Every structure is written in C-alpha cells, then in structure tokens.
Amino acid sequence: MRGSFRVQGEIANISKRGHWYFSVKDAGAVLSCVMWQTDAARTAYDPREGDAVVVTGRIKHYAPQGRTQLYATKLERQGLGTLEQRFQELVRELRALGYFEESRKKPLPEFPRRVAVITSRTGAALQDVLKTAGERCPAVEFIVIDVRVQGDGAAAEVARALRAVEAMHARAEIDAVIVTRGGGSREDLWAFNERVVAEAAAAMTIPLVAAIGHEVDTSVIELVADRRASTPTQAVMLLLPDLAGLAERRERLARDLRNAMRWLINARREQLADLASSPALDSPSLRIAHSRERLARLDARARAALASGLADARRTVERLATRLQSNAPSARAAAARAALDALRPRLARAVATSLGQTRRDLVNLERRLRSAGPEETLGRGYAIVTDASGALVRSVAAAPAGAALQLQLSDGTVPVRVSAAPAADRPAAQPTPHANISDTAPSDPKNLPSK
C-alpha cells in the first residue's frame, strides 16, 4: 500500500530495544507496528503500555513471514487507552470503598497446614509454586484449583474459585490462598482487573497472596489481596516457613527449655535443703528437751552468780573486821563497828534484792518453759498420739484399722482403737472416719509428763 496512514488505537505489547515493536488495537482489530530507531529517537515522549496514540506511517506486507505491518514514522500521544481508563476508574472506586486499606489486611499464617493455589494447571506459574514449596517446606500440602487465567470467562472462573475456597476452607483446613499466573500483556492479565474478582478477593476471611504477571505489572486483585508478590516463587516464600530456619528455631527453643529446667531444679534443691535444716521440722519432744537444757544452764548460771556474790560480800566483811580488830584504837573500832552495823542491813537488802530478781528470772524461765512444753499445747485442745509401745504416731500409715492407741490430753490419757482404715487409704470423696473412743474415763493427770 502506498501513501501515509494515520492509525488511532491503544498501545499493547511494546518492546523498546533500539527499534520499537508494538501493536495498536481497538475494540475490533489489532495491527502490528515497528518504528525504526532513528524515528523513535525523534518521538517527543516515551510510550507506555495502554497509552492511546495516533500512529503515522506506511503499511507494508512482509512476504517471508506473511505479516502486514505499519512502519511508523511518527507517534503522538492521544491520552489514556480504554483498558487503562477502565483500570484507573475501578481503582478509584475500590479505594473509595476501602478495599485497599491496610487495616483490613489479614496477617499470614506462621505455619500453614494446607494452601490452595488458584491458577492454570498447565501454566509455568504452578510449576514454580510446587517446586519452591517442595524445596522450602515439603510438609505443607497444596490444593490446585484449575481455572482459565485469560480470555472470555476467565474472571468469572477466578471469582468462582475464590468463593469456593472461602466456603470450604474450614472443612478442608485451608489456611491460605495463592492466586497467580505468569507474565503477559495488559489484555492477557485483564481477568484479574475485573470487579467480580476484586469483590470475591475482598470477601475472603483467610489470607490471600496474589502474584500476577511480572514485577512491573499491577492488577486490581494484587491491590485487594493481603499480600502482593512479584513472582509465584516469592508468593510461596511469603507463606511457607524455611525448613532450615525451623530446625534452628527448634534447637534454640530446646536449649532454652533445658536451661530453664536446670535452673528450676537447682532452685528447688536449695529450697528443699533449707527446709530440711529448719528448726520447725524438729520433733516436739526434741524441742522440749532443748528448752529444758537451756533453762537448766540459766538456772546454774544464776545460782553460781548468787553464790559468788555472797562469797565476795563475806570476804569483804571479814577483811574489814580483821582490820578493825588488829589496827584501830577503841574509838575507831567502835566507829567501824557502827559502820559495820549500818552496812549489815544494806548488805541484807542487796542480797535479798539479788535473790528476788534471780527468783523472778527463774519464774519467767519456768513460765516460758511451760508455754513451750506439751501441757500448754494439750490445754488448747491438742493431743499426743502414741501406739501400744508408747511410740509417737506421726502418720496415718502407722494407725491401721484395729490398732490400739493412746490419746494424751491435758488432764490425762484416753485409750482408743482405730475402727476403720485411715483417711489417706480411702478415696477423697468419702468422709474421713473418726477413731472410736472407749468409754474408759481419762487416766489420772499424774500420768502427764513431769513439769
């Protein structure tokens, strides 16, 4: 064809490697175009996928490949293309509805058990997903839902698959969803820019990861999804834990657990040793014996101090009397006798005061000994239990059914016999049986231990 033509349409599949190769399309047709590097260098703007343009050039037929192309000499921007306009309009509408808000994004599961993959079963994206999953964490199961990913009806199939996963995820124990496909033109990826797909993705209650096309491509479902991945491989890496990382974490947790258990055991051992050495665990008889020994030592010290004081006083009196008798004249002797007579009452009072204080100390010590002794404890309603041989009974294991025991009370002893098994030998839900007390009157209080 001769002459120059002006073609209006939308740019698609543009490749700029020196020469520019692209297509110009509208609703009814697609025309392949090429612009040589010299003409491309004179173009006033950098064309993008989806731009609406007016292309000026010559149409030629390349016989070896059977291709008819437009050889462009001029490229002018007309505005956004139809698909780009539809994309921008839908994005603005969904953003106003809050579909892209971070607050509605769901966190990804830490350890997913099962993941659904919505993609074409014959596509390379599925193979990338399965290969990466097998290398990263083969324990996770993948359910593949085969759908068309481009062309008429693809959007409806993707939306239907999303709704199906949402309906069965609890029953099938699906923890996350991956929607993916490989790269392509804006037309090839358009199924993921439809409103029906966006609404189905927004209604998901389980985490959704979308990886559509290449990294430079952006689709509506990726904006709605909880996480966007640049490739199918990255989508798997976002969802699945690394097996090596899990092994390292397991070892770290096991080490921390061992250290915590070791520390706790050592602390409990120290606590048990402190309790074992506590005086509170001593037997009552041993505590009473210790108190009696201490009281006896105090009494002996008091008696010795009193005797020593009296002896010193006697020696002083005798020394004074000797000096008076041997040296002093009669007047001085009389004065000394008078002084001695005056000292006698003071000495007697001092001795009486010292004896009185010592007696009060002894009374106080005796009172403290009595309060620590068994009589006071028995007077408050407690009893000392002994067996037939007189040995103390400290556990229900030492009181089997039929055993004869003695209860030492504050005013005597009472013989008893165990009529049933002790409470520790029976289920906790039954009431604890009491020992039968014989009708024998309490023994004479004289049988109590001596004070």
Kindly report, residue by residue over 12-58, the tens digit of the pLDDT. Answer: 899 988 899 999 988 788 899 999 999 998 887 788 888 888 899 99
114 bridge partner residues? 141
**Domain boundaries defined on the chain:** 5-80, 86-241, 245-279, 282-372, 378-447
Q: What's the pLDDT at 210?
A: 94
Task: For the sheet with 176-181, list strands across it.
Answer: 141-146, 114-119, 176-181, 208-212, 227-228
Q: How do residues 326-350 score in pLDDT, each as one tens digit? A: 655 666 667 778 888 888 888 888 8
The set of residues, in sequence order, having a beta carbon less than 8 Å from that of 26 and lying 6+ positions away, is 8, 9, 10, 82
The tokens describing 437, both together, are: 């007390």
Longest dimension (CA), the chain: 176
What homologous superfamily is domain 5-80 in, according to CATH?
Answer: Nucleic acid-binding proteins (2.40.50.140)
Between 246 and 386, name the one with better pLDDT.
Answer: 386
Report CA-CA distances (Å) from 435 to 113, 218, 236, 378.
62, 87, 74, 19
CATH of domain 86-241: 3.40.50.10550
Taking only the tens place, the pLDDT of each residue in 387-439 is 888 888 888 888 888 888 888 887 888 898 888 866 655 554 444 444 444 44
Among 102, 104, 133, 105, smallest CA distance to 117 is for 133
Q: What is the DSSP letter of 252?
A: H
Which residue reads 């703007």 in tokens?
45
pTM greater than 0.85 (yes/no): no
**431 DSSP 8-state letter:** P
More confident residue, 229 or 277: 229
Joined tokens for residue 176: 């996350």
> Mean pLDDT over all residues of the chain?
83
